Amino acid sequence: MKMPYLAAALALALSPILAGEEPSLKDSVGGVASKVLPAFVFITTAGSTASGAIISADGFLITNQHVMGDKNEALVRLGSGESYRAKLIGRDRQGDLALLKIDAPKPLPFLNLGDSDQLRVGDFCVAIGNPLALGAVDQTVTVTLGVVSGLHQFRGNGIYNDTIVTDAAINPGNSGGPLLNLSGELIGINSLGETRLGLRSNSGLAFAIPSNQVKLWIPLLKEAKGGDVYHARLLGLNFETDQEKLPEAGALIKLVDADSDAARAGFQNGDLIITFGDLPVWNVNRFFGILGIFPPGTELTAKVGRQGKTETISLKLDERRPARLGFKLSAPAAADQYVRLSDVDPASKAGKAGLRNGDEMLEIDKMLLTGAAQFTHGYLTQRWLPNLIAGMRIWLKVRRFEDGKFVEREVKYITD
């Protein structure tokens, strides 16, 4: 039985924000906005604006990490008009989540986190946010209606691992805001809009971090004491890339590195990963998407196809911490052909493996670094270096000037 409008209005004063039986579309879209507005948060950091959502009566709120950057606090304004300074509690750079805390003199209205595993493609959803800083003009949110266009998408170079896709309009400023079902439950955190030609405007596809992933990380973020939390890793798997050899479903392992996380867990060359953490794996991207959900220390099982049989592998995931490189990359001049190493620490694993100041980088893991050094430097600093993690195997080919001539050296080591 549907709740009468008057009773629903009275219930707005209660926390959490009411999420009852899903109403009809005709009655609900405006009602969702009025229900959740008290728990919506306008966020301002160093002149930029974004969105967030209060998730507990004691003032915890969730937004995107890219909204916060390296800042430790933000000015926030509630839907009721009250303003506070919110302190950063923890940040998840890989999963693009940040947890903040408001010290309010009274309990705050908040959003219930729904069950994102219950979503179906085609379900209606509502995005609420502060796109293009419009909330600074009239002090109100914008509301866009759409459907769940897809599920379990892998986007953003492994930052968004298991996203919800929606056609609800998302633009700059919506980041960190709530994606809701028609009962007013938070089912995702709006994070990324698909763009073309570098234009930061809605193209009809947007991505949200599922609420069940948010639930998984909130306890770790609360314990971070203003610092970072890290995702899980599983190093040592090299997957088949030959299209003619790929199966219809599953992730086919071509090679398992010796003495790696994967080898110690029991994976073997030629294994076909069928499930991971009880979730079906339909291709390699899906495998990495599932892996990216979990915190370190998670114990789970994987089912693999091996020589016509199904085997079960039990493993405990290690921590994906950034690598200590032991060197820096020199800023290249316009005429440089290769990127040079600088500040090589002789006591680091990179230094002990034989890297030297002034070495020119020719190849990384058999990939040629060709073209202007300035272009290569941009790729290395923006794409390669941020993905290096502790325990990863590195293979470099470098060139140096020795004994009156240029010589090439291959250098292999495992990152600190």
In tens, the pLDDT along 313-340 reads 999 999 988 888 899 999 998 889 999 9
| Residue intervals in the chain for CATH 2.30.42.10 | 232-319, 328-414
| Residue intervals in the chain for CATH 2.40.10.120 | 5-222
Per-residue confidence (pLDDT) for residue 2, from 0 to 100: 40
Per-residue confidence (pLDDT) for residue 8, from 0 to 100: 38
| Other Cβ atoms closer than 10 A to 273 | 23
Task: Give the Cα separation of 193 and 172 in Å (integer).
Answer: 8
Q: Which CATH architecture has domain 232-319?
A: Roll (2.30)
Question: What is the token pair recorded at 118?
Answer: 């219950």
Q: Taking the CA atoms of the chain, what radius of gyration do you get in angstroms?
A: 24
Per-residue confidence (pLDDT) for residue 202, from 0 to 100: 60
Selection from 319, 330, 320 nearest residue 381 by Cα: 330
Per-residue confidence (pLDDT) for residue 201, from 0 to 100: 57
Per-residue confidence (pLDDT) for residue 14, from 0 to 100: 38
Per-residue confidence (pLDDT) for residue 387, from 0 to 100: 81
Per-residue confidence (pLDDT) for residue 7, from 0 to 100: 36
Between the CA of residue 233 and those of 42, 53, 109, 388, 393, what are the distances in Å?
34, 29, 37, 11, 13
Q: Interior CA angle at 283 toward 157 and 281, to 5°? A: 105
229 phi/psi in degrees, rounded to 5: -115, 155
CATH number for the 328-414 domain, one of 3.30.420.40, 3.40.50.300, 3.50.50.60, 2.30.42.10?
A: 2.30.42.10
Per-residue confidence (pLDDT) for residue 11, from 0 to 100: 39
Per-residue confidence (pLDDT) for residue 99, from 0 to 100: 98
The answer to whether 135 touches 49, Cβ cutoff 8 Å, is: yes
Question: What is the token pair recorded at 106?
Answer: 């009274």
Per-residue confidence (pLDDT) for residue 158, from 0 to 100: 65
Per-residue confidence (pLDDT) for residue 12, from 0 to 100: 38
Task: Please provide the CATH number assigned to the domain covering 5-222.
Answer: 2.40.10.120
245 phi/psi in degrees, rounded to 5: -100, -5
Residues involved in catalysis: 66, 96, 175
Residues of the chain with pLDDT under 70: 1-27, 47, 132-139, 156-158, 194-204
Question: What is the token pair recorded at 113?
Answer: 């986190």
Task: Give the Cα separation of 102 and 111 in Å (integer).
Answer: 15
Question: What is the token pair recorded at 111?
Answer: 């959003």
Task: Give the Cα separation of 126 and 143 in Å (integer).
Answer: 7
**pTM score over 0.95:** no
